[in-house]
Structure 1
Amino acid sequence: MKILLYFESQKLLEKSGIGRAFTHQKKALESVNVQYTTKNSDMNYDILHINTYGLNSYRMVRQAKKRNKKVIYHAHSTEEDFRNSFIGSNLLAPFYKKHLVRLYNSADQLITPTPYSKKVIENYGIKNPIKVLSNGVSLEKFQQSKTKEQKFREYFSLKPEQKVIISVGLYFERKGILDFVKVAESFPEYTFIWFGHTPLYSVPAKVRQVVRGNHPKNVIFSGYIKGDILEGAYTNADLFFFPSYEETEGIVVLEALASRQNVLLRAIPVYNEWLKDKENCYMGTTNEAFVSLIERIMTGKLPDLRENGYQTAVEKSIPKIGEQLKEIYEEVLER
């Protein structure tokens, strides 16, 4: 069994959640010794496992079908999580949905990260079989490291006693970036750091203005940072605060859980099946609720849920995802 993992526009998308998911797929297949290639020219494969949505992606599907190859589409995206992102995304969203439906209908099997995203896709009228499989998380990458934590604090010139609240995501209104900044106004004593980047010309003016400087002094937009500094931030910060309005899973949430970090999220349907308020994370729905929760989490007035959150991440570790992915491949080939 050999898999062609296809990822169109890799340089453009490598900083996104889809880019992370693609990396996780490769690691997952390596963990269970499933042979794969990422070379489009390699026609010696059994299954095309495709992650992206461009015109070349559709051509790859058509080419695979002509060769009687099986096609698995990884349904990372929906109309719902396309909205409130780039300039004009809400106007384009209905057309994007039609494009997604066309692509998803072309597959022999769909994989999507959560029961929630499966329900969304089924509501599009798609009848193809859909498996739920988390994007997974690399546990070893997010273990506590004094060296990484020191790099993080030195990079941002943080004092030893300085408390830090972080978030990770693109500069999208959907990600809750405006709420993150608004909540930070209530806590001038804490440093709020948003990791991630999107070209500012592509986002609406209200987001662009906030990132460029219309934010409190205690907020830092770090830009795109990966590796030791980000991993040190995950384990060393005092709280991961992610007020996103829509996700198909939220890989950054998995990374925070794997880091044994305190996690505060917006209560949205995508988390219903695997995260529970006051058990493995905390959840709120309004900025007022977030302010109240942050005050109590940061001062130790609420129970510490970090170990519970870590155990949730363990269930979605890369090797476990690899085993399930291998089973899906075998089932599709047998079918």
Structure 2
Amino acid sequence: MRVLDYLELDSQLDRAGIGTAHDQQVEALERARAAGADVEVVTSPWAAGDPRAALRGALAGRSPLSDVDVIHLNLIGPASVALARYAKVTDTPLVLHCHVTSEDFRESFRGSNAIAPALRRYLRWFYSQADLVLTPSEYTKRRLLEYPVDAPIRAVSNGIDRDSVADHERYREEYRERFDLDGVVMFAVGSVFERKGLTAFCEVAKRTDHDFAWFGTVDSGPQASPTVKRWTDDPPENVTFSGWVDDKPGAFGAGDVFFFPTKEENQGIVVLEAMACGKPCVLRDIPVFREYFEDGHDCLLCDSRAEMVEALNRLADDPDLRERLGENARETAAEHSLERVGEELVETYEQLLESR
């Protein structure tokens, strides 16, 4: 079984959650193959992975596109639309992976809220082309059913590549010194958006005496929202915005409590990464986190900023609680191994092929 697992604009998305999710899919399938599964994965739609060679082949009368048994697409742009149509013409099973919803598109950059309603209509049409839509959570599946998307939908965790953050501790002193961090550090990782809880992050920081650090890209161009510019240009005294960091494990090594007051997620790979590092997590109480995590066991879920302040102060003062939540979080992350994800993806592809 040969599978095209394709991410349009992959080079531009290598710092985004979608890029991480796609990389983990490919790694999960490679691990499944190493374990004996009959699956081969290619990431380019072009024959031999080279558009120039594909063009030469087309001039010689050969198909310019890879010969595959399943097409699995991870984005929603024009190249993905073209490949979805190609799948229909060739009767190739088509899997569309929902990493984008109109809900999580909101509060991402300037003008995103105005575009979101039209995006919802487009997504309803696009995802309905699939033989199967995969979502990272049952929560996102419910969202798509409300659009409504006219295709079968199945939830499969994005998983977590624990190897990608396995050596985080060795970066601890270097990163804390580089960004002048001290004490019990509250931290977030990922691109800086209001949808990720930027205002709550800063307002909560102002009400505590701890150091806060947000490791991730800060948009400074015309697409940056006024809220992002306001907070990052003049942050509270105890808040550091690092910008992009080359060594992702360094971010998880420098921080002590992962603080993620995001307003909307389809799953939240970054939370699983923090949990894989054994970090206690303080999260906004949103439905998708209730699906995967348990308040008081592997995280603390908070409704309000007052609750967030209380939870962070409590963790700062109680190393035993930090250790207990962190150990339980590590066990939760282990349940989302790439080996398990690979098994589910292979099973999904096989079922689609059997149904043809």
Distance in structure 2 (CA, Å) of the matches to 1:226 and 1:109: 36
Displacement of 1:245 in angstroms is: 0.4
**Residues in 1 aligned to 2:94 and 2:273: alpha-carbon distance in whole angstroms:** 29
RMSD between superposed Cα atoms in Å: 1.6
Task: Give per-residue Cα distances to partners, 1:232-260, cap 9 Å, x unaligned.
Answer: 33144220000000000001001011110
Pick which of 287-296 and 197-206 moved more.
197-206
1:333 counterpart residue number: 353
Q: What amino acid is aligned across from residue 59 of structure 1 in structure 2?
A: A
1:286 counterpart = 2:326: no
Match of 1:8 in 2: 8
Unmatched segments (≥5 aa) in structure 1: none
How far residue 269 of structure 1 moved from its aligned partner, in angstroms, is 0.7
For 2:45 and 2:167, the matched residues in 1 are separated by 38
* Distance across 1 between alignment mates of 2:328 and 2:134: 27
Alpha-carbon distance in 2 for matches of 1:112, 1:164: 33
1:151 is aligned to 2:171: no
Q: Deviations over 1:205-229 (max 9, x none)?
A: 12212112x21122111111243xx
User: Within the alignment, does 1:206 sit opposite 2:227 as a pair?
Assistant: yes
Q: Name which of 228, 246, 249 aligns with 1:231.
A: 249
Give the structure 1 partner of residue 77 of structure 2. Answer: 54
Runs of 4+ in 1 over 6 A off after TM superposition: none
Equivalent position amino acid for 2:291 in 1: E
| Offset of residue 20 of structure 1 | 0.5
Partner of 1:11: helix, strand, or coil?
Answer: coil
Counterpart residue number, 1:193: 213
Residue correspondence of structure 1 range 162-311 to structure 2 within 5 A: 162-188=183-209, 190-200=210-220, 201-212=222-233, 214-227=234-247, 230-300=248-318, 303=321, 304-311=324-331
Give the Å deviation of 1:147.
Answer: 2.4
1:35 aligns with 2:58: no
Once the two structures are TM-superposed, the CA of residue 273 in structure 1 deviates from its matched residue by 1.7
What is the aligned counterpart of 1:138 among 156, 161, 177? 161
> What does 1:59-70 align with in structure 2 at a 5 Å threshold?
59-70=82-93
Deviation at 1:203, TM superposition (A): 2.3
Residue 319 of structure 1 deviates from its aligned partner by 1.0
Higher relative contact order (CA 8 A, sep 6+): 1
For residue 178 of structure 1, give the secondary structure of its aligned residue in structure 2: helix
Among the aligned pairs, what percent are the same residue? Answer: 36
Confirm or deny: 8 A CA contact 1:24 1:136 kept in the other structure: yes
Q: Distance in 1 between matches of 2:169 and 2:12?
A: 32
Aligned residues: 329
Q: Secondary structure at the match of 1:44?
A: coil
Q: Does residue 103 in structure 1 map to residue 126 in structure 2?
A: yes
Amino acid at match of 1:84: E
1:140: Cα distance to partner?
A: 2.8
**2:186–2:259 contact (8 Å) kept in structure 1:** yes
Gaps (5+ residues) in structure 2? 34-38, 48-65
Which residue does 2:67 correspond to in 1? Answer: 44
Compute the TM-score of the two structures, normalised by the length of structure 2.
0.88
Report which stretch shifted further, 216-225 or 293-302: 293-302
